[in-house]
Structure 1
Amino acid sequence: MNRRNRRTRRFRLPALALLSGTLLVTGAAVQPASATPDRAHSPATLRALADRAHVKIGTAVDGTALAEDATYRRITAREFNSVTAENAMKWESVEPERGEYDWTQADELVRFAHRNGQVVRGHTLVWHSQLPAWLTAGVADGSIGKAELRSILRNHITTEVKRYKGRIQQWDVVNEVFEEDGSYRNSIWLQQLGPSYIADAFRWAHAADPKAKLFMNDYNVEGVNAKSTAYYDLAKQLLAEGVPVQGFGIQGHLATQYGFPGQVAENLARFGALGMQTAFTEVDVRVLMPADEAKLATQATYFRGLLDACLNARSCKSFTVWGFTDKYSWVPDVFPEEGAATLMDEEFGRKPAYAAVRDGLAAGR
């Protein structure tokens, strides 16, 4: 997946409006839809504006692109003051064979961030997906029992968090633990360990690095709904039990055809009232292809709407986009009819969404 004391301020309206369910584009949110080449950059970078607004502006980082694409590397360093490993810190990446670790890309990202004055969000410690085959096969065939699985999970969390102790600002400790209706996801963790694995994961991560901020993280929780309410109720329960859950991460994977989520400000406020940090952790906004000027203009208002919600919430500590260029976006592989989900096109040209984020950061808190 930062910041500081702030005086009470007036609520600033986001650069979007809803009328009879229709999203209206405002001039503050977008620039003309033609992409601006990266070389014609604005006077201030996103990270410079974010520093002034006292917020972290982050991006997920593709490890291969970071190693091989000089333009990608340069823009990552210039535009962002926070970075998240897109895949390099997930369990299947760091321990592909039991007891055999590969920290190559994760270590390089942490070094890159240090060289460029950036903080790092760790993603993710406990998830039902992208688990190593040796783990899932062992659970499936019974060779890894419940007691051993709990020990394996504790060792995984402790090993990874300790490796980056003092160098990771925020960790997504548990990722996507609820279904849309607010029931627990029927993952191997729930099946084998019961819901107590969530509290255990936070306690183990905190013991490994007491200074890192520890988050729950999920998608479709931007506004107030059954899923986000399940997290709110869980957070209250864990906090009452003294569990060190300190943040709520809202992924922010949106699509323009589904409309902008409602009650985003109210959702952030209720977690903030619990004393928790909040963050937008994986923001992208996909459109039905082919993209055109109208779709990109609407996309820009979605980015700006989430950013303004963050900037208007004292609890919101960072705003991270899930990649900044369509060249390396995950979206087309998962949603074949959708794409163009990021701030820049495949040639690193700036889309209206970039201007919307830039202008939102410039407006500040």
Structure 2
Amino acid sequence: MDKWTRTTAGLATAAAGLLLTTASVVFVSSDASAGTPAHGDSAAVAPGAASYGRAAPSGTTLRALARKAGIRVGTAVNSDALAGEAPYAQKVADEFSSVTPENVMKWDTVEPARGTYDFTQADQLVAFAKAHGQLVRGHNLLWHNQLPSWLTSGDFSAAELRDILHQHITAEVAHFKGEIWQWDVVNEAFNDDGTLRDDLWLDKLGPGYVADAFRWAHAADPKAVLFINDYNIEGVNAKSTALYDLVKGLRAEGVPVQGVGIQGHLDVKYPAPHDIADNMARFDALGVQTAITEADVRMTLPADATDVEAQDEAYQTLLQGCLLTRHCTDFTVWGFTDKYSWVPGVFTGEGQANIFDENYRPKSAYTALGQDLRLAGGR
């Protein structure tokens, strides 16, 4: 059993104005601790975990500081960069204690033709993680996006589509059984107004598809921790409340929803979500884990000093929300370097959203995160 102690004495920063006052909170990373799911879930098991921190050469890396603070710090990984660029791979190994595949576990990659699976790139990432003492977040099993054309263009009946979904989830989770720490089972199921997204899954299968997906994933790997993951749910709002109500209802029915992933894609043009700790606390009270799963903070270019300060504040707000939440297990950035950021390709005129620049130099946001981790770890 891998136990960490989260020492949370005196974390206070000018940017976010949050104070961690709980001293010496015991954080259990490989057992279903008090308040975690009560459905026989093994909610905090960390399958495939190697010796924590063996790849990090310095006590000042994010992964080393996070260990002292009682959480894991992770990054989404671009598999092409990991395979082809040594400085990128070195940063992934040194700075992070968990990894999330950006694309290589999504449906269009792993099942490009019906019933034909290709786990080659995903297996390579899992092997890298094992070699560097890291855990793997599986991302994702069910989404409305990045689906193969055979699926989106097929005229399947509801029964056929349900069987396809069942087979896909079972095949992927079973392939990685014992190697995935957390799975994002259902990704981005809600609209911002709190209604369920009207996509292929809802249209053909109805709202019951969410519960089915979690049951099938749990059957394929009972020890993996199963998350529902979404964006724009950092604070208390219509979307996060609808998700809260769904998770509460599903758990009351015995559905193994064990975690809530708060993505954390922010923009400095909007206020940082300073009610994030209140929001995460209500999920904590349900007995589920939480995590910041895809943090980045974009800005309009060219950026000025005010933008940079706002970016630092936003990153710290997300991290401090996790540190203030007893069963928040990890803080993951969605890519760590601006060199491979998805933001410029989606948000015209925006960028510089990550904690390292294009030349792998740490930015002030990196320093700010390290400061909060250091304080939370009692150093």
TM-based fold match above 0.5: yes
Q: Is 1:239 equivalent to 2:251 in the alignment? A: yes
Deviation at 1:101, TM superposition (A): 1.7
Q: How far apart are 1:180 and its partner, in Å?
A: 0.6
Which of 303, 312, 315 is 1:291 aligned to?
303
Say if 2:185 and 2:214, in contact at 8 Å, map to a contact too: yes
CA distance in 2, matches of 1:167, 1:5: 21
Query: Which residue does the alignment assign to 1:109?
Result: 125
**1:28 maps to which residue?**
none
Q: Read off the aligned partner of 2:93 and give its amino acid letter.
A: A
Secondary structure of the 1:257 match is coil
Identify if the C-alpha distance between structure 1 residues 207 and 226 changes in structure 2 by more than 3 Å, giving closer, same or farther.
same
Quote the residue 2:89 is aligned against.
73
> Does the CA contact (< 8 Å) of 1:3 and 1:55 recur in 2?
no
The 3-state SS of whatever aligns with 1:121 is strand
Aligned mates of 2:65, 2:338 — CA distance in 1 = 23
Q: Which of residues 210, 219, 234 in structure 2 aligns to 1:207?
A: 219
- The Cα of 1:98 is off from its aligned counterpart by 1.5
CA contact (8 A) 1:6 1:314 kept: no
How many Å apart are 1:204 and its aligned residue? Answer: 0.3
Name which of 88, 102, 126 aligns with 1:86: 102
State the one-letter code of the partner of 1:110. V
Describe the shift of the 1:69–1:6 C-alpha distance in structure 2 as closer, same or farther (beyond 3 A).
Answer: closer
How many aligned positions are there? 338
Residue of structure 2 in register with 1:16 after alignment: 15
| Mapped pair 1:100 → 2:127 | no
2:6·2:68 contact (CA, 8 Å) conserved in 1? Answer: no
> 1:17 and 1:312, CA in 2 relative to 1: closer, same or farther beyond 3 A?
closer
SS of aligned partner of 1:16? coil
Aligned 8 A contact 1:296 1:351 in 2:
no
8 Å CA contact retained: 1:15, 1:304: no
1:332 partner SS: helix
5+ residue gaps, structure 2, are 18-56
Give the deviation of 1:290 after TM superposition.
1.0
2:202 aligned partner: 190
| Structure 1 residue 349, shift from structure 2 partner | 1.1
Q: Distance in 2 between matches of 1:233 and 1:213?
A: 20
Uncovered stretches (5+) of structure 1, i.e. residues with no partner: 19-40
Identify the match of residue 267 of structure 1 among 266, 279, 295: 279
SS at match of 2:260: strand
What pairs with 1:24-63 in structure 2 (closer than 5 Å)?
44-63=60-79
Larger relative contact order (CA 8 Å, sep ≥ 6): 1
**1:148 lines up with 2:147 in the alignment:** no
Tell whether the 8 Å contact from 2:288 to 2:327 is kept in structure 1 after alignment: yes
Instruction: Tell me the distance in 2 between the aligned counterparts of 1:201 and 1:184.
Output: 15
Rounded Cα–Cα distance in structure 1 between residues aligned with 2:16 and 2:100: 31
Task: Mark the CA change 1:3 to 1:288 in structure 2 (over 3 Å): closer, same or farther.
Answer: farther
Stretch moving more, 290-299 or 119-128: 290-299
Q: Distance in 2 between matches of 1:44 and 1:13?
A: 19
Cα pair 2:16 2:274 within 8 Å, conserved: no
User: C-alpha displacement at 1:5, in angstroms?
Assistant: 7.4
Query: In 2, Cα distance between the equivalents of 1:228 and 1:275?
Result: 16
The letter for the 2-side match of 1:106 is: A
CA contact (8 A) 1:254 1:285 kept: yes
Amino acid at match of 1:126: L
Tell whether 2:360 aligns with 1:327.
no
Deviates more, 1:254-263 or 1:195-204: 254-263
Q: Is the 8 A contact 2:191 2:197 kept in 1?
A: yes
Residue 187 of structure 2 corresponds to which residue in structure 1? 175
TM-score by length of 2: 0.86
Cα pair 1:12 1:312 within 8 Å, conserved: no
Q: Matched residue of 1:117: which SS?
A: coil
Q: Residues 224 and 262 of structure 1 are in contact (CA less than 8 Å); yes or no, is this contact kept in structure 2? A: no
Structure 2 Cα separation of the partners of residues 270 and 8 of structure 1: 22
**Matched-pair identity in %:** 58
Preserved CA contact (<8 Å) 1:14 1:305: no
Letter in 2 for 1:304: Q
Distance in structure 2 (CA, Å) of the matches to 1:53 and 1:17: 18
Alignment correspondent of 2:46: none
Name the counterpart of 2:27.
none
Q: Could you state the TM-score of these two structures normalised by the residue count of structure 1?
A: 0.89
- Once the two structures are TM-superposed, the CA of residue 292 in structure 1 deviates from its matched residue by 2.8
Residue of structure 2 equivalent to 1:219? 231
Worse overlay, 256-265 or 175-184: 256-265
C-alpha distance in structure 2 between counterparts of 1:364 and 1:11, whole Å:
7
Q: Which AA in structure 2 matches 1:355?
A: T
Runs of 4+ in 1 over 3 A off after TM superposition: 2-15
User: In the alignment, which of 344, 363, 369 is matched to residue 351 of structure 1?
Assistant: 363
Cα deviation for residue 7 of structure 1 reads: 8.0
